[in-house]
Amino acid sequence: PLAALDDASLLRTQALINGEWVAGSAQFGVTDPATGALLAEVANLGAAEAEAAIAAANNALGPWRAKTAKERGAILMRWQQLLIKHADDLARIMTAEQGKPLAEARGEVVYGASFIEWFAEEGKRIYGETIPTTDNNKRYLVIKQAMGVCAAITPWNFPVAMITRKVAPALAAGCTVVIKPAEATPLSALAVAELAQRAGMPAGVLNVLTADADNSVAIGHVLCDSDVVRHLSFTGSTEVGRILARQCAQTVKKLSLELGGNAPFIVFDDADLDSAVEGAIASKYRNAGQTCVCANRFYVQAGVYDAFIEKLAAKVGGLKLGNGFEAGVNVGPLIDEAAMAKVESHVADALALGARLVAGGQRSVTQGAQFFEPTLLADVTPAMLCSREETFGPVAPVFKFTTEAEVVALANNTEFGLASYFYSRDIGRVFRVGEALEYGMVGINTGLIATAEVPFGGVKQSGLGREGAHQGVDDYVEIKYLCLGDI
């Protein structure tokens, strides 16, 4: 599929350190999850190159920080425009290595670019403060300064947007970065880095270390152990987030963590049912269910339970499973066999404990090895695995509930707290439930909540910090207090 790029030079297979493309001494393979075909061999870097990238970012820091926010913003805006200009090629690269339908991939490129635009503008508004004095001989000032060298470890489910969402605020604030993209999706990261080069990003300001799974662990150690790296931003599983947080304790690094979720999707009796079904489809089956904000548990009130399942089943039956390059496909392959096995185990567990299979339920018999049928399970109970763990696949488990208090307790009964959703037309309930849900984000009468202008992030074990919005800059600046005496 990569033979058809308009601009073949976007297909980079070497890593980027200090403005130079680096081949490394070994390579690792990147495969197409839809077909299993080898797409490219990419530089497999290790600890030594990680040290070199940190040194390059550190050397570039002074001059980059010394530029005005407007100057940095101009380079970021050129980068953003290049992402938009090459959106079709970036989407092709993404669909090839990640599997999501081409239209979704293109949507992600536009979404990813929007973070660069937002933070290019926001960089100009990193305001300080003057604090009214309590001593006439003194004045109190607060300024915000770039933290320094930042590291970003990113996942495969949003190969472009999870990079821009971290890197754009860092660069806008005056930080330099070392990125370690997911081993499944390095080609998207490298294409985005190529465009940063074309936009005029100075050498060393943005570095990309590609590596396979083993070397990613080694690079992770170097990034976490480094005194020079002042901040680590990670998006991925809670399990790996805990490991990285532990590793960063030694150097007391500032951390931004965007970890797993277990999103409840609640439909009350007073909901607009068609709208709820539409939101459920968007929230659940987008990216084949592989997003950290995908609805993981559907709670439907008794009065509309049967009707909701019937309407949802009709829509699920209409979803087209297939290669993301094929027209009309809504659900692509899962990222790897481990993902398939997890989805399969959640379905098997639910069925063994008495759930009712309404749609799908198995590996596809018509597509390749990594396709799972869009699945709908009814009569699910809290005893089942899918109510506790993030399924990260195209499975919608539906629970029946009776009262508002009961469903709020069920929804909050998890160590996760990223996204949640509920449907109700009752204004009192909208406030009550919106405030009672222990989540960083609440979608009310909508299944899609993410955009660059709003603070994305979780509470409890779903993470630390917020990405996007004006708050997205906060993690990349230090607050400095200046006390002026002898006035």
Instruction: Catalog residues that contact ligand ADP under the rule CB under 6 A.
Output: 153-156, 180, 182-183, 216-217, 220, 236-237, 240, 243
Among residues 76 and 240, whose Cβ is nearest to ligand ADP? Answer: 240
Query: How do strand 38-43 and strand 441-444 relate by DSSP bridges?
Result: unpaired
Q: Minimum distance between the CB of residue 139 and ligand ADP, rounded to whole angstroms?
A: 45
Q: Which residues of 55-82 are buried (b: 16+ CB within 10 A; e: fewer)?
A: bbbbebbeebeeeebeebbebbebbbeb
Q: How many Å apart are CA 354 and CA 29, to the nearest integer? A: 42
Among residues 166 and 230, whose Cβ is nearest to ligand ADP? Answer: 166
Among residues 183 and 404, whose Cβ is nearest to ligand ADP? Answer: 183
Q: Minimum distance between the CB of residue 235 and ligand ADP, rounded to whole angstroms?
A: 7
Determine the residue type at 11.
L
Q: How many Å apart are CA 189 and CA 181, to the nearest integer? A: 6
Task: Reply yes or no on whether 258 is catalytic.
Answer: yes
- The answer to whether residues 16 and 176 touch, using CB atoms and an 8 Å cutoff, is no
Q: Minimum distance between the CB of residue 211 and ligand ADP, rounded to whole angstroms?
A: 7
Q: How many Å apart are CA 187 and CA 39, to the nearest integer? A: 9
Chain mean position to CA 180? 14
Q: Minimum distance between the CB of residue 8 and ligand ADP, rounded to whole angstroms?
A: 26
Among residues 234 and 401, whose Cβ is nearest to ligand ADP? Answer: 234
Q: How many Å apart are CA 205 and CA 160, to the nearest integer? A: 18
Among residues 156 and 265, whose Cβ is nearest to ligand ADP? Answer: 156
Query: How do strand 149-153 and strand 176-180 relate by DSSP bridges?
Result: parallel
Q: Minimum distance between the CB of residue 179 and ligand ADP, rounded to whole angstroms?
A: 9
Q: Minimum distance between the CB of residue 350 and ligand ADP, rounded to whole angstroms?
A: 21
CA R_g for the chain: 23
Q: Minimum distance between the CB of residue 156 and ligand ADP, rounded to whole angstroms?
A: 6
Question: Of 258, 301, 312, 315, which Cα lies nearest the Cα of 422?
Answer: 301
| Backbone angles phi and psi of 439, in degrees to 5 | -140, 155
Which residue's Cβ has the minimum distance to ligand ADP?
Answer: 220
Among residues 112 and 236, whose Cβ is nearest to ligand ADP? Answer: 236
Helix ranges restricted to H, 250-389: 273-285, 305-317, 337-352, 385-388
Among residues 342 and 466, whose Cβ is nearest to ligand ADP? Answer: 342
Q: Minimum distance between the CB of residue 236 and ligand ADP, rounded to whole angstroms?
A: 3
Q: Is 118 exposed, middle or buried (0-12, 13-18, 19+ CB in 10 A)?
A: buried
The pair of structure tokens assigned to 449 is 């909540």
Q: How many Å apart are CA 396 and CA 279, to the nearest integer? A: 12
Among residues 12 and 342, whose Cβ is nearest to ligand ADP? Answer: 342
Q: How many Å apart are CA 150 and CA 232, to the nearest integer? A: 6
- The answer to whether residues 195 and 115 touch, using CB atoms and an 8 Å cutoff, is no
446 Cβ neighbours under 8 A, 6+ residues apart: 279, 421
Q: Minimum distance between the CB of residue 456 and ligand ADP, rounded to whole angstroms?
A: 16
Partners of 183 in the β-ladder: none
From 49, 108, 117, 258, active-site residue: 258
Q: Which residues of 132-152 are buried (b: 16+ CB within 10 A; e: fewer)?
A: eeeeeeeeeeeebebbbbbbb
Among residues 201 and 240, whose Cβ is nearest to ligand ADP? Answer: 240
Q: How many Å apart are CA 281 and CA 322, to the nearest integer? A: 17
299: three-class secondary structure by DSSP: strand
The pair of structure tokens assigned to 469 is 């919005």
Residues annotated catalytic, as ranges: 258
